Amino acid sequence: MQQETHNAQQGSSKTTVDTDIEDLCVAVIRGLAMDMPQRANSGHPGTAMALAPLAHVLFSRIMTHDPSDPQWPDRDRFVLSCGHASVLLYSMLYLTGYGLTIDDLKSFRQLGSITPGHPEVGLTPGVEITTGPLGQGLATSVGMAVAERFLRSKVGSELVDHHTYVICSDGDLMEGISHEAASFAGHQRLGRLVCIYDDNHITIDGSTDLAYSDNVAGRFESYGWHVMPIGEVAEDRRVLQSAIETAKNDERPSMIILRSHIGWPSPHKHDTSAAHGEPLGVDEVRETKEILRLPEDQEMYVPESVLDFYRKAVAPKSAVRQSWESRLKSAPQETAELWKSLHNPPPRSWQQSLPIFATGTAVATRAGLKKCIGSTKQYLPGLLAGSADLTGNTGVELEDASQLSADYPAGTQVHFGIREHAMAATMLGASRHGGILPVGGTFFVFSDYMKPSVRLAALTHSHVIYSWTHDSIGLGEDGPTHQPIEHLMAMRAMPGIVIIRPADANECSQAWRIAVEHDGPVGLVLSRQPLEVLPGTSDPLENRTLENEGVARGAYVLAESEETPDIVLTASGSEVALCLQAREVLKNSGRNARVVSFPSWEIFEKQDEDYKKHIFPPGVPTLAVEAGSKLGWDRYATKVIGMESFGASAPGAQVMEKFGFTVENVSAEALTLL
């Protein structure tokens, strides 16, 4: 019987493994990779088939993970960036005991199953991040590596000492986000990040030669990565393990370049695009199983010997977890308290540190956010605040904060450079890792560069806070290229994210409280220009008991009419002040106007119907004012003063006047409605 000697999981001892059973394990993975798409008549078998030996090595030899506790904080993270190969991950999660069943595998890509077409975090035990949009997995893994290093610097390697492993594809490396993220990772020298590039030369359109001739090794070397081209060794488990063990001990992020053959050992479809994006077909599956010496007439074939092998391979990992739990229990009190505060919401007392701004003063809401963060950061030990180069402009510049760097991993100020997409993905990865509250900023118009990652944060209910500033045409001279028009509505259209556009600095303070305490992503849409602090916006904070009022309701009555209102004027952001001034003009005309500040549609939609009718009384006309697209306002307003074109380059006040955002125009439009 053949035998193979390899390093044990911790790399410090030798163990002898029966290669016959491991050969069978790899064959079984390949069988599952064929059967799941074939049964669903949909899916991607080829990559999973080619990478079966690699997955086997990672899950049984390399990674420290405990299927009995998938959320154990000090586990190694595994990211399948090429999420279309999800059958590979589902196979390994089933085999190693994460609670999946054969029936789950049979339900691949079916309605209500926990084995969807691409991996979804929160749905399938053992899935660390939702992947599918290519490049995202690689980029979010950078955030996981940042989080691991940051927390290790805070509490020590006794509690945080793990790696992040990524499998990526040609498509991942073609997408632009991979360039941004890899550049940032190399600059930060994230040595616990190990990426294996599946260089299989195939895309859905055909050979990668059609559109791709990058020198990947040279590219990643230029980023400062440890690059290991290991060639045609996709079937050699010893070489795969040795390469990964070498990579995990380097102080730089590592890129292992593996030449594989998609669909191997399919006799007619390996190395073809047909093996990439469609089932192999009944006859090809049968012939391939014959080559693999699997029962040709059995679907989802997993003998007990294979299950037994994997369950025994991962069983020692429970002891590693239990040892970690013992270390946590015996940690010094200061470390234990810090660990607790990193992984739990801040104490209720933190709200008392939120600033209150004096009525009548003028404060840009971006500056208000900076004051809010500075006043409360002592309660947020996991805070990582950064910006895509515009640090001083976005409100996320922390006073007296150290810069996060390769030499100082405990820094809380992150300079992402001009990499909005990678910033958003890194923030998402850090959030999914746990222990981190990421806050990142850029101009609102550049949220376009972030949107795929923001969408994944919304899809995964991840706690990420975005500071999007320069929120309207009011920013002025930079002109139409920098003035967001459609962005506010586009973000409101996205499920799963809360968007808040505060009217002044006090509403910004309330918004910061909501953002910190919310369990999903929050976008704060903030002004460049100073805004007058309005009467009434500080009340919920001054009283400290009215948490069901103000911004926390999404929309609220900021100024009531003296009698039953003839009209409701509503707005968000800087336009709320216009409504207050127009209210006085209408009062002089004998008209009663209620002013509703409307910072968050998403929060307002969660209120009960009685409250909604209280804010917008049936039968009373409503005029909405917002320096952005009118789209969608018809659900609340009778008429809208908004944008139907791009803006203009001029001082902000002039641009606002040109497009009708004046007291005179708001008053005139209100009177027209009446």
Structure tokens at 552: 């926390």
Rounded-to-integer distance, Cα 85 and Cα 211, Å: 22
Instruction: For tokens 């996991």, name the residue.
Output: 382
Indicate the SS3 state at residue 171.
Answer: helix
Residue 222: how many CA atoms within 13 Å on its side-chain side?
Answer: 8
Per the structure block, which two tokens stand in for 30? 């390949």
Name which of 82, 55, 68 is nearest 322 in CA terms. Answer: 68
* Cα angle value 115/293/206 (rounded, 5°): 60
**Residues 62, 245: Cα–Cα separation, whole Å:** 8
Please give the Cα distance from 83 to 656 (Å, whole number).
46
Tokens of 84: 């279309």
The answer to whether 263 touches 205, Cβ cutoff 8 Å, is no
The amino acid at 220: F
- β-partners of residue 640 are 624
What single string gives the DSSP state of each residue in 416-473? --S-HHHHHHHHHHHHHHSS-EEEEEEEGGGGGGTHHHHHHHHHTT---EEEEES-SG
Measured CA to CA, the distance from residue 228 to residue 368 in angstroms comes to: 48
| 216, containing H or E segment | helix 216-223
Exposure of 620 in the CB half-sphere (CA atoms within 13 A): 21
Q: Kindly give, in sequence order, each residue whose CB lies less than 8 Å from that of residue 265, ignoring residues fewer than 6 positions away.
A: 30, 49, 288, 291, 292
Residue with tokens 């616990």: 192
Residue 122 CB neighbour total at 10 angstroms: 12
Residue 502: other Cβ atoms inside 10 A: 30
Query: Between the CA of residue 559 and those of 39, 358, 364, 578, 626, what are the distances in Å?
Result: 62, 18, 21, 12, 18
Helix (H, G, I), strand (E, B) or coil at 660: coil
How is residue 157 written in tokens?
Answer: 């390697």
| Residue carrying structure tokens 């930079």 | 478
**C-alpha gyration radius of the chain:** 28
The answer to whether 185 and 405 are in contact (CB under 8 A) is no
Strand ranges in 138-192 using DSSP code E only, listed in sequence order:
164-169
Sheet strands (E) in 170-305: 193-199, 202-203, 206-207, 226-231, 254-259
Residue pair 200/193 in contact (Cβ under 8 Å)? The answer is no
**CA 600 – CA 579 distance, rounded (Å):** 17
- Distance of alpha carbon 6 from alpha carbon 243, whole angstroms: 12
Catalytic site residues? 420
CB within 8 Å of 162: residues ≥ 6 apart: 64, 74, 75, 76, 77, 148, 192
List the end-to-end C-alpha distance of the chain, in Å, as a whole number. Answer: 92
> Can you tell me the distance from the alpha carbon of 544 to that of 354, in angstroms, rounded to the nearest whole number?
10
Helix, strand, coil tally for the chain in percent (to 5): 45, 15, 40
